[in-house]
Amino acid sequence: MTSSNLDNAIGEREEAARRYVEQLRAFYIHACMYAVGMFIMFTVNLLTNLSAGIAGEWTAWWSAWALLGWGLGIVVHGLVVWLNRPSVASSTWEQRQIEKMLGR
């Protein structure tokens, strides 16, 4: 493997790692917004149920539907990020041997 090919392979791996980190960051932002949004929705739901005197009725807890729906979206987003993570192993035998020699 020539030096140019090795540099190109390393550049591709760095680009894949950069894209993955961007996707992971977006997932973390999504998860934080989910937590904040669900806290606000649950609080509003609780306060309105208490003021109406229906806190004991399961049908009054509409925030559970948001929890399930948005939670499913979070799970799908997490799976997409996890499945798109870059491979740790090199794609060619030569690259693996070079990394082995370099102690990586």
Q: Once rounded to an integer, what is the mean pLDDT over residues 12-21?
A: 88
| Residue 69 pLDDT level (bands cut at 50, 70, 90) | very high
**Predicted local confidence at residue 47, as pLDDT:** 97
Rounded alpha-carbon distances, angstroms, from residue 45 to 31, 38, 59, 71, 97: 21, 10, 11, 17, 59
What tokens does 38 get? 């669900």
| CB of 20 closer than 8 Å to CB of 45 | no
* Residue 58 confidence (pLDDT) above 60: yes
Give the span between the Cα atoms of 82 and 84, in whole angstroms: 5
Give the span between the Cα atoms of 68 and 65, in whole angstroms: 5
pTM for the predicted model, two decimal places: 0.75
